[in-house]
Structure 1
Amino acid sequence: MKTLSLRQMALPAWVQALPMGGVFFLFFALPLLLVVAVSFWPQNEYTLEPGFTWDNYLTLFNGCGSTSELCVTLKTYLSTLKFCVLVWALTLVLGFTLAYFMAFHVQSVAMQTVLFTLLTIPFWTSNVIRMISWIPLLGRNGLVNQTLLDLGLINEPIDWLLYSDFSVVLAFVHLFTTFMMVPIFNSMMKIDRSLLEAADDCGANGWQTLWNVVVPLCRTGILIGSIFVITLVMGDFVTVGVMGGQQIASVGKTIQVQTSYLQFPLAAANAVVLLAVVLMIIAGLNRLVDLRKEL
């Protein structure tokens, strides 16, 4: 009797993928399809019934055709994109610097583990608690203002340290730098150190080696970290609400307010537009780096 090899006894690939595909459909695709469906539901002040209408999207972009002034929706998206670009740039610089130090200047694996543990300690607490911890430092009577007043560097407290664009960006950078650093560090650890020695032998200085060798070989980590940071900032509403003093507009904050007023179809339409914008940004980043090929 002929014995079947393990390869011949294995189930077809599509059968093996069914469990994971079912989980993906149940917890990702189905909720997303429901949000898209609800975005087309009609709604009045009293009822919410299944149906089909474009009114939610028309309401969302009401006044956007005017050339004299930007509509509220476009202003909100531009405000969110502004935070996204600033936070992405700052987290990229900080994350890359930290990753470079840990990958090329910390030789001991034990010390790298200790440093990574220190970096993850803030994640043991709630994001809200981490944001609130900035208030005693940045407020009008906070530690920063009191220190500057005592040193005679300022004559009155600085108002823009808290409940401003500055405080929102600061909190975002505080929260999301690690999400940028870790993928870049993983890419750096895969770099063959002989390439750095070859660059040095060819007479390249430190900056030339960094720009022409390290950065191109880290583009996968930079892309993954960028996707993490961009998606987190674009959908955030808690940080903007707490650090902005409920005075700064963002898309996530708008959706949260709409759901609190039970305007679910309008909030769903806003979420669909937000998803489309984020996907376009990610698609643009993927044009720079073919993530599937790099991985």
Structure 2
Amino acid sequence: MSTTTPSLPAAAVPGRSIAAWWQAAPFTLVFALFFLIPLALIVIVSFWDFNEYELLPGFTFKNYVSIFAGCGDASEGLCVTLKTYYSTLKFSFLVWLITLVIGFTVAYFLAFHVRSSGMQTLLFVLCTIPFWTSNVIRMISWVPLLGRNGLVNQTLMGMNLIETPIEWLLFSDFSVVLAFVHLYTMFMIVPIFNSMMRIDRSLIEAASDSGANGWQTLWNVIVPLSRTGIIIGSIFVITIVMGDFVTIGVMGGQQIASVGKIIQVQTSYLQFPLAAANAVILLAVVLMIIWGLTRLVDIRKEL
């Protein structure tokens, strides 16, 4: 009677297991050096004390208490920290909503209305042209357009549509949201376009043959199959806007607060433990948002 030796899974073969570890080691080292260790240092420093001259290593909750000072008094309304987070979340939501509408529309046009792959590539490259310059240059380019004596106000006054310049076009919430949308819409277009290009066109034909109109096909077929790209684009846009301080500083005229701006100011005054504590809180909020978004779809499974 002959016996057969059962085959081992690939992961159980010692040689292959060691080879896999060696292949993953460089990426693990880079991930640890440039993400895990700096993040751990930020968390550690957030519990240190400081004075005007030096950092004082130790363990104290003083920085976290200072951040939320006055937040427990309901009679005073929202404290400074909660107002700042409200402002940051407001910008994140508005930018996310606008970039989602624009990004989905552009991706839908490129994926389903442009038949030639060459034309798709050309139009896609045209969308990336703004990224050939720095963010600061693209932000500053709005100033001569939206300023009190800018092109927009001068044009409207020349057409007798307004009598005095519109003040809220620049250094306002409007200009901040406009700059964010200008800078980060591409982060929404790319993942949604990638998801739409993977949709089996026979499903759309089947929906049409079943009597579905264009809106029904869009809502019941294209949107559900594009949700992976929507979630990934949403994570990109929200996380970038939550931590941004340059755009809010430039387009808000240094008059609009955000969490990132507060951290930047604290580091400029060498208040590193306080800035680290704010960074840890901001990271926790962002991670909760990402966790909530990833509950809507299993990104690893979909990819």
Deviation string, structure 1 residues 236-293 (Cα, Å, up to 9, x no partner): 0000000000000000000000000000000000000000000000111111112122
Amino acid at match of 1:191: I
Query: How far apart are 1:49 and its partner, in Å?
Result: 2.4
CA distance in 2, matches of 1:197, 1:120: 31
Query: How far apart are 1:10 and its partner, in Å?
Result: 3.0
TM-score when normalising by structure 2? 0.93
Of 27, 35, 53, which residue of structure 2 is paired with 1:28?
Answer: 35
1:208 corresponds to: 216
CA distance in 2, matches of 1:169, 1:35: 29
Deviation string, structure 1 residues 178-202 (Cα, Å, up to 9, x no partner): 0000000000000000000000001
1:246 corresponds to: 254
Deviation string, structure 1 residues 76-126 (Cα, Å, up to 9, x no partner): 000000000000000000000000000001111111111121111111111
Is residue 10 from structure 1 mapped to residue 16 from structure 2 by the alignment?
yes
Of 153, 168, 175, which residue of structure 2 is paired with 1:160?
Answer: 168
1:63 corresponds to: 70
Is the partner of 1:288 in helix, strand or coil?
Answer: coil
Correspondence 1:189-208 to 2 at 5 A: 189-208=197-216
Correspondence 1:85-234 to 2 at 5 A: 85-234=93-242
Deviation string, structure 1 residues 188-241 (Cα, Å, up to 9, x no partner): 000000000000001100000000000000000000000000000000000000
CA distance in 2, matches of 1:257, 1:204: 55
Is the partner of 2:70 in helix, strand or coil?
Answer: coil
Question: Could you list the runs of 5+ residues in structure 2 that have no partner in the other structure?
Answer: 1-9
CA distance in 1, matches of 2:154, 2:275: 42
TM-score when normalising by structure 1? 0.96
Is residue 51 from structure 1 mapped to residue 58 from structure 2 by the alignment?
yes
CA distance in 2, matches of 1:267, 1:10: 45
CA distance in 2, matches of 1:195, 1:267: 51
- Provide the alpha-carbon RMSD of the alignment: 1.0
1:19 corresponds to: 26
